[in-house]
Amino acid sequence: MKPTTLGIIVTNRSFFPDHLVTEERNKVLNLCHGKGIETIILTEQQTRLGAVETYDDAKTCASLFQTNRDRIDGILVILPNFGDEVGVATAIDLAKLNVPILIQACDDELNKMQLENRRDAFCGKISLCNNLYQRDIKYTTTRQHTSDLNSAEFSRELDDFTAVCRVVNGVRTARIAAIGARPDAFHTVRFSEKLLQKSGITTSVVDLSEIIVAAQGLPMSDLVKTKIDEIKAYGTIPNYIEAEKIILQAKLNIVLENYVTDHDCQASAIQCWESIQKNYGVATCLAMSMMGEKGMPSACEMDVTGALSMYALYLASGSPSAYFDWNNNFANERNKCVNLHCSNFPASFFGREFEIENLDVLGTTLGASACFGACKAQIVGGPMTFCKITTDDKNGKIKLYVGEGEFLDDPVDTKGGVSVCNVNDLQGLLQHITRNGFEHHVAMNRANVAGVLEEALGNYLGWDVHRHN
Digit-coded pLDDT (tens) for 260-311: 999 999 999 999 999 999 999 999 999 999 999 999 999 999 999 999 999 9
Q: How far apart are CA 398 and CA 305, in angstroms?
A: 10
Question: What are the residue boundaries of the structural domains of the chain, listed by start?
Answer: 5-171, 175-467
Q: What distances in angstroms separate CA 173 from CA 308, 312, 444, one per listed residue?
A: 11, 12, 22
The residue among 52, 23, 51 whose CA lies nearest residue 149 is 23
Annotation: CATH topology of 5-171? Rossmann fold (3.40.50)
Query: How long a stretch of residues is the chain?
Result: 469
At residue 1, the 3 state secondary structure works out as: coil
Between residues 110 and 1, the one the model is more confident about? 1
SS (H, E, C) 308-327: HHHHHHHHHHCCCEEEEEEE
Domain 175-467 -> CATH class: alpha beta
- At 280-293, the pLDDT tens digits run 999 999 999 999 99
Residue 317: pLDDT above 80? yes
At residue 222, the 3 state secondary structure works out as: helix
Residue 247: pLDDT above 70? yes
Residue 112: pLDDT above 80? no
pLDDT at site 110: 77
Q: How far apart are CA 351 and CA 330, in angstroms?
A: 22
- Residue 259: its H or E element: helix 243-262
Number of helices (H), then strands (E), belonging to the chain: the values are 16, 18
Q: Give the angle 57-62-64 at the CA atoms, nearest 5°.
A: 95
The residue among 202, 200, 170, 424 whose CA lies nearest residue 316 is 170
- Residue 214: its H or E element: helix 208-216
Band of residue 352 on the pLDDT scale cut at 50, 70, 90: confident
Q: Give the angle 430-434-437 at the CA atoms, nearest 5°.
A: 135
pLDDT at site 134: 98
pLDDT at site 1: 85
Q: What distances in angstroms separate CA 412 from CA 183, 187, 416, one per listed residue?
A: 28, 30, 11
CB 100 within 8 A of CB 157: no
Q: How far apart are CA 320 and CA 346, in angstroms?
A: 7
The residue among 169, 155, 161, 166 whose CA lies nearest residue 141 is 161
The mean per-residue pLDDT over the stretch 206-210 comes to 98
The mean per-residue pLDDT over the stretch 319-337 comes to 98
Q: How far apart are CA 352 and CA 371, in angstroms?
A: 23
The mean per-residue pLDDT over the stretch 420-446 comes to 98
What's CA 350's distance to the chain center, in Å?
20
pLDDT at site 14: 84
Out of 4-8, 247-251, 359-363, 462-466, which region has the weakest mean confidence (pLDDT)? 359-363
Residue 469: pLDDT above 90? no
Residue 253: pLDDT above 80? yes
pLDDT at site 115: 67
Residue 411: pLDDT above 70? yes
pLDDT, the chain, mean: 97
pLDDT at site 15: 83
DSSP string, 390-430: EEETTTTEEEEEEEEEEEE------SSEEEEEE-TTHHHHH
Percentage of the chain with pLDDT > 70? 100
